Amino acid sequence: MSIPAFGLGTFRLKDQVVIDSVRNALDVGYRAIDTAQIYGNEAEVGQALAESGVSRQDVFLTTKIWISNFRREALRASLQESLAKLRTDVVDLTLIHWPSPKDEVPMVEYLGALAQAQADGLTRQIGISNFTIDLTRQAVEILGADAIATNQIEVHPYLQNRALIAYLREQGIHVTAYMSLAYGEVLKEPVMQAIAERHGATPAQVALAWALQQGYAVIPSSTKRENLAANLKAAEVKLDDEDMARIATLDRGHRLANPEGIAPAWD
């Protein structure tokens, strides 16, 4: 099962806000939703999906296991709890949200538990998130590259993550890009604005098109229906080699997701 190129992210969206965002996204044509245990919104995502009128089998649903649930039995129980909140018997993709800080839980334990959950039919695919080259290499040694559906990582014009992405491509591991708009920072970038003007597009559409044209999946979030619809049209924006080269010059290693005590030693 391939991972949809375009989905809705739900990070930082809570309560009625996330219900409305998911409902509007599904209504304008989204068919992939990304959530996580730590977001505290799985129940609301499940409610919005159940009330949407869109068949569950038509929506690609992703969640992520939080670091406090990495022990073998805890991981399984937490995933079952996520399924109950999401009102589904199986999710399409389950990720390890962050590698275990200071290797508190051995990777072989939590990846083994995740693989067992897949074998038992709780999730169709499994993957990783925020894994560096070295950590991904360890995951490949444990699971095999073919078992890892994706590595979900921060990627935007200001953080292009080239070394890690080159390694993932060597291994045949798909890239899911999060924070594609860098919390809106890239929308103010003159280079992005100029490219957008040339294409009759928005800077957000250009940033998303840039990621899509490199083969990444994207999961931008929005609370506004008009922005949700506009973002989805990024797939229609075709950037040329000059556009891509100009955006390549914007990389400055500007990382936004770097939680103290949790983040690994980045590449």
Beta-carbon contacts of 87 under 8 Å, excluding residues fewer than 6 positions away, are: 46, 47, 49, 50
Q: Strand 32-34's sheet: what is its strand order?
A: 8-9, 32-34, 60-65, 91-96, 123-129, 148-154, 174-178, 217-218
Long-range contacts of 80-83 (CB under 8 A, 24+ apart): 80/122, 82/37, 82/42, 83/122
Rounded Cα distance between 127 and 69, Å, is 16
Cβ atoms of residues 5 and 29 within 8 Å: no
DSSP line for 19-66 = HHHHHHHHHHT--EEE--GGGT-HHHHHHHHHHSSS-GGGSEEEEEE-
Q: Which one of the listed residues 39, 110, 158, 216 is annotated catalytic?
A: 39
Beta-carbon contacts of 174 under 8 Å, excluding residues fewer than 6 positions away, are: 3, 149, 150, 151, 168, 215, 217
Whether 167 sits among the annotated catalytic residues: the reply is: no
Q: Active-site residue numbers?
A: 39
